[in-house]
Structure 1
Amino acid sequence: MIRPGLSRIVLPFAAVTLIWGTTWYVIKTQLGVVPPEWSVAYRFMGASFIMFAACALMRRPLRFPLAAHGFFMLLGVFQFAGNFNFVYQASQTVTSGLIAVVFALLVIPNALFARLFLKQPVSARFVVGAALGIAGVALLFERELGADGWSGPIAAGLGLTLVGVMFASVANVMQGTARARSYDMFGMLAWSMLYGALVDIAYAWAMRGPPVIAWTPLYLGGIFYLAAIASALAFVLYFNVIRLVGPAWAAYSGVFIPFIAMTISTLLEGYRWSPLAVAGAALAVVGLVIALRARRVPAGAAAAGGTTGRS
């Protein structure tokens, strides 16, 4: 078998990392006038439309058996509804960079769920790396939680982010199955995003009432970026990287994304680094690298350690 050209791996990997590294701050521009629930709904309404249009242009299959639609619906509920609604809620109180760091820990529940449902082993090395990663994140939040208290909005935002991570992890395990790989990637994403968007609309209407939108260039530009670039394009690129090199290697984007997000948060959100925060960031990265190296699996093997929940 001819090994894929380096550019087929490096360029999509770099693009996904850059896109998802900036996404966390763009989400902040969606908050304010428009309820976060409706912002999520608009994002995936747009993303699903783009994916269906892409399937039509490329003549990708869109007809699937009824059982496949049940799978797509569950994937949409976990990945494009539950996950993102919790993240958008958390973004109201937690800086974008810190949310990105917490999401980098996604590999931990991924591995635990993979052990439970896919019977994949968890090594002692992975446990050590996971523990270091959790300790690093705790240090990053030490100042915010110390000033705010565990009952304040920062703690609530952290809790919402962790719930979002769990939703994303369930979706990742689903994407790591042989069943998911048997479906055309474009068609699967189109239907999953549509089902997720329908759930988002129902949830937004129930929680916030009729649709609200801000007709400003900043808001509408953010919706376009999140729907077209961060959702439709980025998920296609990332899934393709997984199919070329395997999910474990692809998961290294989760190590680099927080650096981009934290840099943006420092420049644009006024995040201030303390010595403990610096130590926490370093510890989290070391832990994640150790954990990811322990989760290495062959390309094409069923593994849940590499798909992100990204945003």
Structure 2
Amino acid sequence: MSEAAGSARRHALLRLRIALPFLIVALIWGSTWYVITGQIHDVPPSWSVAYRFALATPAMFIVALAMRRSLAIGRAGHLLALAVGLTQFCGNFNFVYRAELHLTSGVVAVMFGMLMVPNALFGRWLLGQKVTPRFLTGSAIAIVGIGLLLLHEARLSPLGGSVLLGVALAIGGILSASIANVIQANETGRALPMASLLAWSMLYGTGFDIAFAWSMTGPPVIPVTSAFWFGTAWLAIAGSVVTFPLYYTIVRQIGAGRAAYNGVLVIVVAMFISTLVEGYAWSTLAVAGAVLGLGGMIIALRARQV
């Protein structure tokens, strides 16, 4: 890669057509972490996920049709949509919703800030995207910071659950999301209209969600509170239909590893909300962890290629 090309890639986030959707995604996803906490107590988490994407799926098809995108994606497209539906819209969200039974929303968001690590590694293995020593150094620093935050969380254990179980579930969600992030940017995915691929992926994911929820917890539990359905609508429309087309397009434009750094802004928003609403208790350990986590992510973000 030439010096000019390297510089252009390095400063891609300064372009308005990338920076604006990057910011929109971060602000919306930063809010969704807390909204999820209101979706997992009155209803089994798996049914809450199923309701979210049962609402998001028809909206995504409407978006695709309004944009005049063809819904004919071919056999390879449907196979890719099945894979994205299983990993992103079933596996990822079922892991995340369960993780928030054991960890505060802000801490789960911080863990998801490390999405750039598997994104970069899977991008290297599957798409041939490069990973630099500076990226690995920054990621290592961020991991230390997240470790301190989790140690702080383990000492407080505010939800009375198992912190280790919450960590394991969050890691499952991170890996599921990362696989989906990378595979949708492969040659097959790039040839398909984003809205059409997402519509079919959400449809397949909803089918997986319903099957999983029924097998795990039995018939649907229908919540009656308006707060639940307002939250579900926000997660479905803003947190899914608006953000996933924007985010996946960013992945295709600047690479999976670099795109995952919208997690830096997501963390700031999510931790701010967690502090105000969930009463997240900051300590010296937590502050040190947050500084190292964000600092490491920024160092890696400034790497020449990821």
TM-score normalised per structure 2:
0.89
Aligned 1:135-174 pairs, distance under 5 A: 135-146=144-155, 153-174=162-183
Residues 149 and 290 in structure 2, CA contact (< 8 A), matched pair in contact too:
yes
- Aligned-partner Cα distance in 1 for 2:164–2:252: 37
How do 1:270-281 residues align onto structure 2 when only pairs under 5 Å count? 270-281=279-290
Residue 210 of structure 1 is aligned with which of 219, 231, 253?
A: 219
Q: Indicate the SS of the match to 2:131.
A: coil
**CA 1:123–1:180: 2 relative to 1, 3 Å:** same
Unaligned runs of 5+ in 1: 298-311
What is the correspondence of 1:20-31 to structure 2 with a 5 Å cutoff?
A: 20-31=29-40
Residue number in structure 1 paired with 2:9? none
Aligned residue for 1:184?
Answer: 193
CA distance in 1 between partners of 2:277 and 2:188 (Å):
42
TM-align CA RMSD:
2.1
Higher fraction of helix:
2
Match of 1:77 in 2: 86
**Is structure 2 residue 126 aligned with structure 1 residue 122?**
no
Aligned residue number for residue 265 of structure 2: 256
Cα displacement (A) at 1:185:
0.4
* 2:51 pairs with 1:42: yes
CA distance in 2, matches of 1:7, 1:67: 33
List alignment gaps of at least 5 residues for structure 2. 1-11
Post-superposition Cα deviations, 1:53-95, rounded to whole Å, max 9, x if no partner, equal: 1222332110121221011101110011001000000111110
Equivalent position of 2:6 in the other structure: none
Amino acid at match of 2:226: P
**Aligned 8 A contact 2:113 2:261 in 1:** no
Q: How many residues are treated as equivalent by the alignment?
A: 293
- Residue 296 of structure 1 and its aligned partner are, at CA, apart by 3.2
Structure 1 contact 140–281 (Cα < 8 Å) conserved: yes
| Cα distance in 2 for residues equivalent to 1:92 and 1:79 | 20
Higher mean Cα deviation, 3-12 or 55-64? 3-12
Query: Structure 2 CA distance, aligned partners of 1:55 and 1:118?
Result: 26
SS in 2 for 1:106: helix
Q: What amino acid maps onto 1:37 in structure 2?
A: S
Give deviations 1:16-75, integer Å, cap 9, x for gaps.
111000000000010111100000011111111101112223321101212210111011
Conserved? CA contact 1:145–1:154, under 8 Å: yes
Of all paired residues, the percent bearing the same amino acid is: 49
Q: Which AA in structure 2 matches 1:170?
A: I
Q: By how many angstroms is 1:292 displaced?
A: 2.5
- Alpha-carbon offset, residue 178 of structure 1: 2.3
Counterpart of 1:220 in structure 2 is 229
- 8 Å CA contact 2:119, 2:257 repeated in 1: no
